Structure 1
């Protein structure tokens, strides 16, 4: 019998092909060949996951996932239905795209099949990192015709760290939900040092400034990730964001050739966990010698963090991939560690101030923070 909490997210890269060459792309370490996942491999992916987990989230990634024809995704959806172990099984599909291939036909397909889509787009700084801005904006327009507002991932680097307010206002004015990712030294970013951040204290200072602007913006219609998750974390005392929630045994990535890695970020060959064609049940990936070694080395890093950090309970040792970029899974990634400690402490102070205001908070904070505070105040009331 399948445990109802046995959930997995699988980042699927059906192709490495991409029509852009972004200055910060971590995928450059893998390359941009035109190899496409075969139908045989796609069916193996679905058959080794859908029957064995209670809930599955397929995240179609790349490369550029829409370099693949829509027939590929139609087939994937058919296979998901074929291998469902019960009609109510929770299977979710999402896609991370640069938006340039989102035609009206693509937008309709996404709408008809309830596929969540996110764009990688930098707003006012898009041409600096990506180019083809007008094509991406057209993709937004095509989705809007079907009442779809995609989430947007924008990266933070040296090129825009002093202009984050401009980035926020750009997406705020478009009512566009926003996720901020820090550029890390992988792939193309290693060759473009002008975009890499080197001062974690200064980075944290600018992120805290943006958090405060968003926090007190009572009319904003957009949530910012990871701010919302961080605010939830300090209230609940538990990490709520991907990079701090321990992805081990809950995330995998499958490449176009079937190779399996711990997640979708760039991993050296030594972290290859096998090939999808070798597994009938993806649970078995977690029992491989390589994966167990990852768990053991992660435990070493977490113990180091636990011994020296007062926000470990909210960080959980940080991101596996960032540790690898810092020299090994057992290593503490100093930049993100220092920055997170400053940022989460700032947010904790702000949330404590908000809780202490009681009912006076209504006209002070944005609606996302108000909802978190309301729930906390209700919990406090019930405890009494």
Structure 2
């Protein structure tokens, strides 16, 4: 059997008999009805090629993000943009803040780039500290950063982000910032407003997590370096964003109320789950996104899978060891079932 994925991700519900999927960090409310209607409407246009420039979609995103349309590039999921960015920049040496999403490194292997890692420490709460500024030097072409980080859920303080921006510009280094989960964080500051001043800044976003559109495949980038976006576009196939995906994205931009209701729900349920797990003496990293990182000496992946619950085994994250697991946050009724499963596993605690 040939395997496409070099590193398994969450959401693989196709090879497991499960009743609950806690391995993928998606909107627990599912897909907005307006988005579903838009995809059905798009079926009337399937005989035509998609718009290769995604003009209507980019116009809509530009209004939402309050940036020029020329700053926006859409892709077949955020993952495609990660790979086209690596191909377009072809870096010699990069620095990745880890543990983090493995596709950054995977995309760079194809470019034969030299990769260094700045490792976040558990004893420091997996928080990025200012000593990263001492690590950055002219040897690097690009610094990769996920904010909030996946799988820790921790955010980078805005003041530190500004220092990273200034230093990277002075040294002529590109700064890649993945903000795909940032909308889930209360009070978090995006760097989108800094794109105009910092053409070396590249921001990655997606509709996947916020609007339950993982099966649609739609992401976008924001960057004021139009030459870079052009090279990325040339590194991707033509018509890479399907017509249903473009219709869905336009509709999703009109579904803010749907997302805000889910965000409020996540806030309540995240705190409830954290308090429960800590009462069972389970180590929980207090993240700020729509998922939680756990540490346990039990084989939670296998034990929960036997109960029909799929979680993310994080042992394949560079910078994490065996015993780390990530769980999504879902609807209250589903979360109750998850906590009941934890109770059965930790019944003697």
Instruction: Give yes or no for TM over 0.5.
Output: no
Give the alignment's TM-score, normalised by structure 1.
Answer: 0.30
Kindly indicate which of the two structures has a greater share of residues assigned to helix: 1
Larger Cα-atom Rg: 1
* TM-score using structure 2 length: 0.33
